[in-house]
A = this chain, B = another copy of it.
Amino acid sequence: MDGTQGRIAARRLASPARREQILEAAIAYFAEVGFGGTTRDLARRAGVTQALLYRYFSSKADLTEAVFERIYLGRLDPRWIEEIRDRSVPLRARLLRFYGAYTGAIFTYEWMRIFMWAGLAGDALNNRYLSRVADSLLAPIAAEIGAEPGLTPPAMEDMWNLHGGIVYIGIRRFIYRLPTPDDCTPAIEAATDRFLAGCRAT
């Protein structure tokens, strides 16, 4: 209830809890201002002293690395690909289910912005993540489309087009701060239907 920013933290915390608190604050802070942000500002927002950061992280680089790991780790749910291949469910429903889950996982302020900051900075994890998206998600989806009677399997560039058109909603919302629909399900449905219709027409 104090009017000042930060300094909300308890006076004394168990080591793992404090580390977790700092890490969470770092994710929120770096998402907002990028990795050029200062350790002093971060500490203020975490409600601790700047010196304390160095008890839990050996350097700023060490801290940002922890932010990366936390952000990337477990972001790609292995069940997604299983569900994509589950042919007991109609193809359209599988696509909608996947992109519902995928956007549900990545359409957050922290994820979208940290991913973009990292991409611009040339982070290697970023590049590797997207390669995995291509190999483990887009390629299997293309294969499933190709397995459907009457549908031509789309090229990877077409898959990227589907993917990019959907992800761009999050870019507009969290990076460009443009108004977007609260619920992006209808947009995903429309994009998916257009895409499937295109695979049929060829």
Contact = CB atoms under 8 A, between A and B. Distances in A.
A194 interface: yes
A201 interface: yes
Total identical chains: 2
Given A160-B169, A163-B168, A168-B164, A176 B34 contact: no
Contact of A194 (B113, B186, B198): B198
Given A160-B169, A164-B168, A168-B161, A120 B34 contact: yes
A164 B172 contact: yes
A64 interface: no
B197 A172 contact: no
Interface centre among A113, A131, A160 (most CB of B within 10 A): A160
A34 B127 CA distance: 18
Interface in A144-186: 157-158, 160-169, 171-172, 175-178, 181, 186
A163 B178 CA distance: 14
A190 interface: yes
A96 to B, nearest CB: 15
A152 to B, nearest CB: 11
Interface of A is mostly: helix
B177 A160 contact: no
A116 interface: yes
A160 B117 CA distance: 23
Nearest to A170: B164
A9 interface: no
Given A36-B36, A168-B164, A127 B198 contact: no
Interface of A: 34, 36, 113, 116-117, 119-122, 126-127, 130-131, 157-158, 160-169, 171-172, 175-178, 181, 186-187, 190-191, 193-195, 197-198, 201
